[in-house]
Amino acid sequence: MTATASPQTDARDLFAELTGATPAGFWSAPGRVNLIGEHTDYNDGFVFPFAIDGRTVVALGTRGDGRIRVVSTFDPVPIEVALADLDTLFPDRRDEIVEWARYPLGVAWALQDAARAAGVDPAPLTGVDIALASDVPVGAGLSSSAAIEGATASALNDLWGLGLTRVALARAGRRAENEAVGAPTGIMDQMASMLGRPDAGIFLDCRSLDADVVDLGFADAGLEVLVVDTRVSHAHATGGYGERRAACERGAEIMGVSALRDLVPADLDRARELMDDVTFRRVRHVVTEDQRVLDAVRLLRAEGPRAIGALLDASHASMRDDFEISTAELDLAVETARAAGAVGARMTGGGFGGSSIALIDSTLVDDAAARIVAAFAEAGFCEPHVFTVHPSEGARRDG
C-alpha cells in the first residue's frame, strides 16, 4: 500500500485492512527542518529547528490480549509482539525486528519504562493495534523518524493515561531512536516535533532542554523555505554519524570539558594545538555552529529573517569542509539556490545525503526550483524533489 490521498485517510484505510474495524482515534506529529544548528544537539549545544507541515499519522485501536501490533505504509506486513516482551527485545535483540517497526515499538518500550518511573505498573497497559501513514519523506533529513515517534508517543500517552509532558514524550522518542533503533542521535528532532508552533522556530538548549518559541516572520518578509530533497538517502544508524559523534566526544575529553557546548570560539586556538587535524575540524564545526545558532536567534529578534542569510551560508561551509557531511548533490543544490537569489542556503539534517534548504523570496521560488532541477540533470544526478515547507504545529490528536 502506498500513500495516495492523505496520511489520515491512508492510516484509516490501513487500520481497516488490519483489523476490520474503525480506529479509536488519530494522532499526528510533524517532521522538522533544522534552520540552523547541526550536530550540536548531542554535544549539549544549541539548535533552532521548526516543525513542518508534513506529518505522520497514527490510527490506533485497543485490543484485550496485551499485545501490540504495528503496520505502516512503509511496509504492509504487520509486526506483532507482546507488550511484556518488549523488555526482552530492546535493546539487545533489536535486530530481530525490521527497522521501521523499531520506532513505534521502541516508543512503547520507552513509555513502559517511563510509566514505571512514575510509579505505574505497566503490566495492565492496554494492548493496541497501530497503523502508520506519513507524507514526510523518508531519508531526506526531515526527521521522518521523529514524526513516527511523536505520533506514537502522543497516542499511547493518551490511551494509557500516563500524563507525561511533551518533553518527557520527546525523551522517550530519543531513547527509542538511540537504543531500540541504534541511531546515536540527539533530542532536537523529537523536541521540534513535539513543541512546534505555526510560524515559529524552537530555540532549544539541548543540555537543560529549555525551549523558547521564536517568531520567524517568514511570511511577513515575503520569504519561503525551499527544500531540495536530493533523493540521496541517509541512515543515522550507519557509521558516518557515529564516527562524527565519537570525534566530538574525543575532542571534549582532550579539552577537559563534559561536552563541546562548554567551549567558545576563543578556545579554538588551544584546541588546534592539542588535537589532530580531523578531530580539530570536527570540534571547530560544533563550536562555531553553536555560536551561529545564538547569532541567528539574536538577529531574527532584532532585524528579522533577511539578516540570517550569511549565517546559513557559513553553516553549510562548515558542514562541508570541517564536519565533512555534505555531498556533491547537496553542494550543488545550495550553490544553485544562492545563484537564483536565495537569502541563504545550507544542507539540513544529519548529512551524508538528504536535503538542503534555502531561504528565498516567494517570487523567486519557481525559478529557483527549475534551475535546481536543470542543474541536477546537467550533472547527471537523480532528479531532486523540490518543495516548500511552512513552520507548523507540533504533535496533536486529530480525532
**Nearby residues of 152 by Cβ (< 8 Å), 6 or more positions away:** 27, 58, 103, 104, 107, 108, 130, 132
Given a cut of 70, whether residue 350 has pLDDT beyond it is yes
Give the span between the Cα atoms of 92 and 107, in whole angstroms. 16
C-alpha cell at 302: 532584532
For 147-170, the pLDDT digits (tens) are 999 999 999 999 999 999 999 999
**DSSP label at residue 179:** I
**DSSP label at residue 288:** H
Give the span between the Cα atoms of 126 and 69, in whole angstroms. 12
| Bond preceding residue 104 cis, omega within 30 of 0 | no
pLDDT, residue 262, reads 98
Q: Where are the domains of the chain?
A: 7-213, 217-389
pLDDT, residue 235, reads 56
Give the span between the Cα atoms of 309 and 4, in whole angstroms. 36
pTM of the model: 0.89
Are the C-beta atoms of residues 36 and 214 closer than 8 Å to each other? no
Give the residue numbers annotated as catalytic, written as ranges.
Answer: 189
pLDDT, residue 155, reads 97
Mean pLDDT of 241-257: 95
Of the candidate ranges 233-242, 350-359, 362-371, the one whose mean pLDDT is the lowest: 233-242
For 106-149, the pLDDT digits (tens) are 999 999 998 888 888 877 889 999 999 999 988 777 889 999 99
pLDDT, residue 239, reads 62
Give the span between the Cα atoms of 296 and 310, in whole angstroms. 10
Fold of 7-213: Ribosomal Protein S5; domain 2 (3.30.230)
pLDDT, residue 2, reads 39
What homologous superfamily is domain 217-389 in, according to CATH? GHMP kinase, C-terminal domain (3.30.70.890)
Q: Give the CA distances from residue 11 to residues 16, 93, 148, 176, in Å, rounded to whole numbers and listed in that order.
A: 9, 28, 12, 22
For residue 120, the Cα-to-chain-centroid distance in whole angstroms is: 30
pLDDT, residue 238, reads 54
- Taking alpha carbons only, the member of 193, 226, 227, 196 closest to residue 214 is 196
Give the span between the Cα atoms of 18 and 296, in whole angstroms. 47
Residue 118 CB coordination number (10 Å): 11
Are the C-beta atoms of residues 171 and 385 closer than 8 Å to each other? no
For 44, left (φ over 0), alpha (ψ -120 to 50), or beta? left
Q: Give the CA distances from residue 398 to residues 26, 29, 112, 136, 333, in Å, rounded to whole numbers and listed in that order.
A: 5, 10, 24, 17, 35
pLDDT, residue 237, reads 44
Given a cut of 90, whether residue 285 has pLDDT beyond it is yes
Give the span between the Cα atoms of 108 and 113, in whole angstroms. 9
- Taking alpha carbons only, the member of 142, 126, 117, 122 closest to residue 54 is 142
Structural Rg of the chain based on CA atoms: 21
